[in-house]
Amino acid sequence: MISSALMAGGIKIFGRHHKDGAPQGLFCANGQCSQCMVLADSKPVKACMTPVRPGLSVESCEGKPALPIEDAAVEPAPVPVVKTQCLIIGGGPAGLSAAIELAEAGVRAILVDDKHSLGGKLGLQTHNFFGSRADSYAGTRGIDIARRLEENLRTLANGGIEIWLDSPAVGVFCDGRVGVVRNGAYVLVEPEILLVASGAREKALDFPGSDLPGVYGAGAFQTLVNRDLVRPAERLFICGGGNVGLIAAYHALQAGIEVIGIVEAMPECGGYKVHLDKLKRLGVPVYTSHTVVRASGADCVESVTICGVDESFRPVSGTEKRFMVDTLLIAVGLSPVNEMYLKARQYGMKAFSAGDAEMISEATAAMFSGRIQGRRIARELDKPAVIPQEWDATLSVLRGKPGSLREIAPRPVVGGVYPVIRCFQEIPCDPCIGSCPKGAIRIRDGTLTGLPSFEGERCLGCARCVLACPGLAIMLVNEGYREDKRTALLTLPFELAEERIEVGGEVATVGMEGQRIGTGRVVALRKGKHQDRRLLLLLQVPFEHRLSVAGIRLLTAEEGIEPGSPLGVEDSIICRCERVRKSEIVNLIRAGYRDMNQIKAALRTGMGACGGKNCGDLILRIFREEGVEAGDVTLPVQRPLDREVPLSIFAGLRVEPAAPPE
């Protein structure tokens, strides 16, 4: 995309806002905002949604005169209406899974997606997935799951499922029709049933400097690094200790980016412990009960200030710390993109939702919910479709929060080889069970969230369990490596660049949560075609350290952290599109405003290109901060269109779409 090409060229500022000259740059990389607007061949486009091509002229909108007005009269062309049994909005994990079920049931459906390829966020996920092998491709990397789902769908479609790419759904209307811009032309789709599987958008956070280029969502970062192979940062800080933030930190390390730290407002990180532990082992500092209070820089991020928070999440003065970084990722949660589903229900349409549009959870749950909703829709259309009784329970498990912690002590096999499993948190995951040729790894209580353990008498030393574990929580211990029992050989999973390890060199060894143990010597790095892009690190350690070593330390904790300047009364931008500041909204709330439509009329909040997708939640949060109960706030009226559409398209003047990327 244009935005990725600009970032690869070192260009972070795409333009300046007409209101106050503030620098504009990439923020969502998902078409949900207008921060990346540029002129491509003199036409305004979102840089994150427009592919580059040879000869394309890209300019900033800054300082450009108003676009020319066409004086010629235009005779509007009739809008075609396409009827179908089911319209699926969204080609991500939920939409693809639902479409496969509908295809198998013989339902005619149209699947629309605003991107140039299918897969949604799966196309950004290079890590191995948790969940169930039988139901959600557990142990497989997200990018590979996307490919498998698309292949399955295209094999099954046989003309029954139409796939419309580069075709955003832009509005749901009271006559039961859905507006879609298909390859530059406006079409109305009239479905018998609508399925909204449009995913989620990242939540924003307000603090002084939150609008600077260099502050963006973790999803935007993964788009740059994992999809477009662009390294957009040198020194990175992350706000948010859930799975999204923890996984983004790991992806950054894989890309050779220095992760300076992670901050989490809660006393404990909410993501899976195995994700957190592997970062701690590598040396990433984690600051719990802290939050970001300031991003500073002339035109781009140059530093980030964090501080501690009390039990009510209020900043504690005197605890400020300042870090010199060039990028800050915001990973503080997701909001469902469900506006079209709610509008369809309001208009009395038969509508379903799936994936994050239904409930925010992991992609494994999104796939499974798509399967369930696909079969429910098939039954609504009088097609044979069986929903096993246990599926709802399985979905509930996949959507569940991490469970309790229970440590299981490793059981040594004297003089032999055996796995050490450091999976101590109840999470839905089972790839390790099927990995052992001898069936010696079992979950004691037999549930998907149970804790695995090695129950065999003898291990073959094949390391398949080490390769299978999505959380990098299994290693092999070889006690018979030396007859004198002075050293043992460990086999550890390794997914960073090979050049970071020197075979024969000495490395610092650490325990499960990053505590220093001692040193070890790298014996070898093994790789093979069956290892799925994961290396095996063979590490020689003192015999007495064989059960305490869980990894190696490659990063040095940040030294010389500067004390941050005291908290002041700095203002922050809430509405990015219209550059509305927090103080302006606070003043209206204190003056008695309780209707977000009134605030919109007075300040233009939500009237920009994003339609309030980013500032809406922030304004509700300000109401809460001011002591106003949610029930006393009137929400803004949601109207089509859901996103910007050139008027020429409604007039029937076909707009040629950009060529898809090669």
Mean pLDDT by 10 residues, the chain (662 residues): 94 92 91 89 90 93 73 78 97 96 95 94 92 88 94 84 94 96 93 96 92 92 94 95 95 94 95 95 95 94 94 90 95 93 96 96 93 96 92 92 83 86 92 91 87 86 93 93 87 93 94 93 89 92 94 73 69 92 95 96 91 90 93 90 85 63 56
Token couple for 36: 């990346």
Query: Residue 136: its pLDDT value, please?
Result: 85
- What is the structure's pLDDT at 378? 96
CA dihedral 461, 462, 466, 468 (to 10 degrees): -150
Q: Shortest CA distance to 114 belongs to which of 657, 654, 662, 648?
A: 657
H/E/C letters for each residue in 146-204? Answer: HHHHHHHHHHHHCCCEEEECCCCEEEECCCCCEEEEECCEEEEEEEEEEEECCCEEECC
Helices (H), 78-121: 93-105
Are 371 and 345 in contact by the 8 Å Cβ rule? The answer is: no
Is there a contact between 392 and 122 (Cβ–Cβ < 8 Å)?
A: no
Q: Are 624 and 631 in contact (CB under 8 A)?
A: no
- Asked whether 2 and 58 are in contact (CB, 8 A), the reply is yes
What gap in Å lies between CA 507 and CA 109, rounded to an integer? 56
CA 43/CA 587 separation, integer angstroms: 38
Q: Which amino acid is at 359?
A: M
Q: Are strands 235-239 and 327-330 parallel, antiparallel or unpaired?
A: parallel
Cβ distance 283 to 556 under 8 Å? yes
Residue 587: its H or E element: helix 582-590
Helix (H) or strand (E) holding 467: helix 464-468
E strand or H helix at 44: strand 43-46
* Amino acid of residue 440: A
Angle at 20 between CA 638 and CA 294, to 5 degrees: 80
Supply the pLDDT for residue 163.
95
Q: Quick check: 520 and 540 in contact, CB under 8 A? A: yes
| Nearest C-alpha neighbor of 168 from the set 111, 96, 113, 120 | 113
Cα–Cα dist 577/416, whole Å: 64
* Tokens standing for residue 93: 């994990």
Q: Which residues contact 151 (CB under 8 A, 6 or more apart)?
A: none
Pairwise CA distance, residues 7 & 1, whole Å: 10
Each residue's pLDDT tens digit, 54-80: 999 999 988 777 766 666 677 778 899
Identify whether the C-beta of residue 7 lies closer than 8 Å to the C-beta of residue 26.
Answer: yes
Torsion-angle region of 114 (φ positive above 0: left; ψ -120 to 50: alpha; else: beta): alpha
Helix 363-380 vs helix 391-399: crossing angle, to nearest 10 = 150
CB neighbours of 594 closer than 8 A, spacing ≥ 6? 628, 632, 633, 634
Q: What is the pLDDT of residue 586?
A: 96
The answer for residues whose C-beta is within 8 angstroms of residue 571's C-beta and 6 or more apart is 208, 581, 582, 583
- State the greatest distance between any 2 C-alpha atoms of the chain, in Å, as a whole number: 92
Q: Which residue has the tokens 């305004």?
A: 44
What is d(CA 149, CA 126) in angstroms, rounded to the nearest whole number?
A: 16
Please report, as a single letter, which amino acid is at residue 83. Answer: K
Which pTM value belongs to this model?
A: 0.92
Element (H, E) at 252: helix 243-254
CA atoms of 223 and 121, how far apart (whole Å): 9
The full set of domains in the chain, from first to last, is 1-69 (no CATH), 81-200+337-399 (3.50.50.60), 204-332 (3.50.50.60), 417-553 (no CATH)
The pLDDT tens digits of the residues spanning 551-577 come to 999 876 555 466 766 666 678 999 999
Q: Is 76 left (phi over 0), alpha (psi -120 to 50) or beta?
A: beta
What b/e sequence results for 618-642 when a residue is b if at least 16 CB atoms lie within 10 Å of its CB, and e otherwise? Answer: bbeebbeeeebeeeebeebebebeb
User: Which pair of tokens denotes residue 163?
Assistant: 């796939």
Q: At what angle do helices 243-254 and 273-282 cross, to 10 degrees?
A: 40
CA distance 22 to 213: 10
Q: What angle do CA 605, 610, 615 make, to 5 degrees?
A: 45
Separation of CA 233 from chain center = 18
Are the beta carbons of 355 and 93 closer than 8 angstroms? Answer: yes
What is the Cα–Cα distance from 35 to 24, expressed in whole angstroms?
A: 6
| Residues shown for the chain | 662
Query: Residue 233 and residue 190: Cα distance in Å, rounded?
Result: 45
Rounded Cα–Cα distance for residues 40 and 61 (Å): 10
In sequence order, what are the beta bridge partners of 489? 478, 540
